[in-house]
Amino acid sequence: MQPIQLAIVVGSVRAGRVGPTVAAWVRRIAAERSTVEVVDVDLADFELPNSLVPCENSERFTRTIGAADAFVVVTPEYNHGVPGALKTALDTVKYEWRGKPVGFVSYGGLGGGIRATEQLRQITAELHMVSVRDAVSLHRIRKRFDSEGGIDDPAAVDALGRLLDQIEWWAGARRRTDYPG
């Protein structure tokens, strides 16, 4: 079977963000699997209008999402919620999200981004996506990674493995039958 196209979505566009470091860690772990082909989707590479009016960037973003089989969303938590750029990205695309599995890797201070993950579960359900049960929550993010991008949290490594296993299973189920929604 062909490897699944796994898009790792960096959900923050702020200057000084940690998202690319977290996404690089997810990419390294996912790329070790012969059943996965990783695609990087950094929202900072797309200027998506808050008005949701179609434009060249939103059409390019929609094509990128349409080509993926599954997603891992790497997100911080801003003010106990989802970053605005990530919400806009989710709202920009409609049918291309449908029936596809999504997992969440959140990060932040003491909360580790778990409130953003719970909000994203509600949003992605409305988009007809399947959020996998296991998630990764990285607490005190500025202290988690070493200078080479390695992580000091074996529980997070274990959780990411389970998340990827579940994503692969759902992506395989999706390939076996058409989504009825």
pLDDT at 144: 87
CB 83 within 8 A of CB 11: yes
pLDDT at 13: 97
Three-state DSSP class for residue 174: helix
Is residue 121 situated within a structural domain? yes
pLDDT at 161: 98
Domain range for 167 is 4-176
pLDDT at 148: 87
CB 43 within 8 A of CB 85: yes
Is residue 14 situated within a structural domain? yes
Is residue 27 situated within a structural domain? yes
Give me the DSSP letters along 10-62: E----TT-SHHHHHHHHHHHHHT-TTEEEEEEEGGG----TT----HHHHHHH
- Predicted TM-score (pTM) of the model is 0.95
Is residue 85 situated within a structural domain? yes
pLDDT at 135: 97
Give the model confidence (pLDDT) of 68-77 as tens digits. 999 999 999 9
Q: Which residues contact 155 (CB under 8 A, 6 or more apart)?
A: none
Residue 149 backbone phi and psi in degrees, to 5: 85, 10
Is residue 181 situated within a structural domain? no
Give me the DSSP letters along 117-171: HHHHHHHHHHTT-EE-S--EEESSGGGTB-TTS-BS-HHHHHHHHHHHHHHHHHH
CATH number at residue 124: 3.40.50.360
Is residue 33 situated within a structural domain? yes
CB 168 within 8 A of CB 130: no
Is residue 114 situated within a structural domain? yes
pLDDT at 152: 86
Identify any residues that bridge with 70 across adjacent strands, giving them in sequence order.
6
pLDDT at 116: 97
pLDDT at 178: 78
Given a cut of 70, the residues of the chain with pLDDT beneath it are none
* Helix or strand (DSSP H, E) at 4: strand 4-10
Residue-wise burial string across 19-31, b where 16 or more C-beta atoms lie within 10 A, e elsewhere: bbbbbbbbbebbe
Into how many domains does the chain fold? 1
